[in-house]
């Protein structure tokens, strides 16, 4: 680091402060360092992106030991350019409110402290949707997820308002699969499709206490086909917003 500092014209004091994390580092400085170190391509862009967003919260700042599968999911979400969530019984995790997530977690017997930790992680994960270069999120939600009053009417009304607001963002689309459809390709199970710039697509399947990734092209193709089929059957974003508004009115009436 000292030799790099000399080539950059930095004082020894500045090198020491940067090296010991006592001073922040700007994107321009990082760019200069990478030029000296001859770091190019994808690695350079990744490090510059980190420098640009260094003041934004990151999951590791929570200081918690996370399950391996959750850590892998977080990494995949941060690298993905588009995420498609096909969900049946719950609303998508990246759009959940704190109260909704708490109700889900505590219903499984999780302690309040454990729930607090994972709720904080989930809330930070949602930052990928509002960063300077936000991830695109497609949500295909079965209407059955809107019917179950998780957390009670007040929590559900707040949760559905959150979904409607998110659907107005240019990088987020929400489509509801109406009950009258009967059977559809999404009923085989909830899954998440993650798409990347230079890596092949990945499917994430979440279980009660773990998760699994699928990346074999032939297997992933089965899920991408399911997405296409479900998307054709779902209401448009506008029609979906109308369904959500109906349930918001219902829950707000029950909460009074």
Give 210-250 pLDDT, tens digit per residue: 678 999 999 999 999 999 999 999 999 999 999 999 999 99
- Shared-domain flag, residues 23 and 147: no
Q: Is residue 28 situated within a structural domain? A: yes
Question: Span 77-85, mean pLDDT?
Answer: 94
Tell me what pLDDT residue 5 has. Answer: 61
Q: Tell me which DSSP letter residue 200 carries.
A: P
Q: Is residue 58 situated within a structural domain? A: no
- Shared-domain flag, residues 121 and 29: no
Mean pLDDT of the chain: 82
**Domain membership of residue 21 as a residue range:** 2-52
Q: Is residue 59 situated within a structural domain? A: no
Tell me what pLDDT residue 84 has. Answer: 97
The structural domain count of the chain equals 2
Residue 72 pLDDT level (bands cut at 50, 70, 90): confident
pLDDT exceeds cutoff 50 at 132:
yes
Q: Is residue 57 situated within a structural domain? A: no
Q: Helix/strand/coil (H, E, C) string of 37-92?
A: CCCCHHHHHHHHHHHHCCCCCCHHHHCCCCCHHHHHHHHHHHHCCEEEEEECCCCC
93 touches 190 (CB < 8 A): no
pLDDT exceeds cutoff 60 at 114:
yes
Q: Which residues pair with 85 in a beta bridge?
A: 139, 192
Give 15-71 pLDDT, tens digit per residue: 566 554 445 566 677 677 777 677 777 667 766 666 665 444 444 444 445 667 788
Contacts of residue 241, Cβ cutoff 8 Å, sequence gap at least 6: 164, 167, 174
- Shared-domain flag, residues 122 and 18: no
- Global pTM value: 0.73
């Amino acid at each position: 680091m000292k030799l790099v500092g000399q080539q950059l014209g930095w004082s020894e004091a500045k090198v020491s402060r940067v090296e010991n994390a006592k001073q922040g580092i700007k994107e321009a400085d990082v760019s200069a360092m990478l030029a000296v170190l001859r770091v190019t391509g994808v690695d350079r862009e990744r490090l510059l992106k980190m420098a640009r967003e260094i003041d934004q919260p990151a999951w590791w700042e929570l200081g918690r030991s996370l399950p391996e599968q959750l850590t892998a999911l977080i990494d995949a979400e941060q690298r993905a350019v588009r995420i498609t969530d096909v969900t049946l019984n719950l609303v998508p995790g990246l759009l959940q409110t704190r109260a909704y997530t708490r109700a889900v977690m505590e219903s499984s017997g999780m302690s309040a402290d454990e729930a607090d930790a994972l709720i904080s992680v989930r809330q930070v994960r949602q930052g990928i949707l509002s960063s300077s270069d936000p991830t695109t999120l497609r949500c295909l939600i079965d209407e059955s997820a809107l019917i179950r009053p998780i957390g009670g009417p007040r929590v559900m009304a707040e949760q559905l308002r959150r979904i409607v607001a998110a659907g107005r963002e240019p990088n987020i689309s929400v489509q509801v699969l109406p009950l009258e459809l009967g059977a559809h390709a999404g009923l085989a199970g909830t899954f998440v499709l993650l798409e990347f710039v230079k890596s092949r697509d990945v499917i994430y399947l979440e279980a009660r206490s773990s998760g699994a990734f699928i990346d074999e092209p032939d297997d992933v193709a089965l899920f991408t086909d399911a997405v296409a089929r479900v998307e054709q059957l779902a209401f448009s974003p506008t029609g979906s917003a109308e369904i959500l508004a109906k349930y918001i009115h219902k829950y707000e009436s029950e909460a009074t």
